[in-house]
């Protein structure tokens, strides 16, 4: 899948709009969330546009592994040993930008179930 000219995450990946990038690889870009819900809140996005995790899994299952590996590296760089990884798929699940993205959340205690 290629980029989407209307997607804000594609624009961050391409450098068209700025993002506070903390990690960049051939497959993913990680940047700080503009509306953090935890002391560490970083989004890890594939460079290739796909609307959600299910579409990414169908198109390139290994890319989901790259997202998780990058999330672990972000947590390590941020000095966070306990963290939560979140993939929202669909508006009712809380997805607001329809480009696959993994939230890396840490730096505070989390409850279960999330709400």
Q: Which residues are catalytic?
A: 101
Task: Give the Cα-Cα-Cα angle 3, 34, 66 (nearest 5 degrees).
Answer: 50
Name the strand (E) or helix (H) holding 55. Answer: helix 53-59
23 φ, ψ to 5°? -160, 140
Asked if 3 and 13 touch (Cβ cutoff 8 Å), the reply is yes
Q: Is 65 exposed, middle or buried (0-12, 13-18, 19+ CB in 10 A)?
A: exposed
Please give the biggest Cα pair distance in the chain: 38
């Amino acid at each position: 899948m290629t980029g989407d000219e209307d997607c804000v995450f594609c624009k961050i990946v391409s450098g068209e709009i700025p993002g506070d990038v903390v990690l960049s690889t051939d497959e993913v870009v990680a940047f700080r969330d503009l509306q953090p819900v935890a002391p560490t809140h970083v989004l890890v996005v594939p460079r290739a546009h796909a609307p959600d995790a299910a579409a990414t899994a169908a198109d390139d299952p290994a890319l989901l592994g790259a997202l998780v590996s990058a999330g672990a590296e972000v947590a390590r760089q941020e000095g966070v040993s306990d963290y939560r990884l979140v993939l929202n798929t669909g508006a009712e699940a809380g997805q607001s930008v329809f480009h696959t993205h993994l939230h890396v959340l840490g730096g505070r205690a989390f409850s279960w179930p999330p709400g």
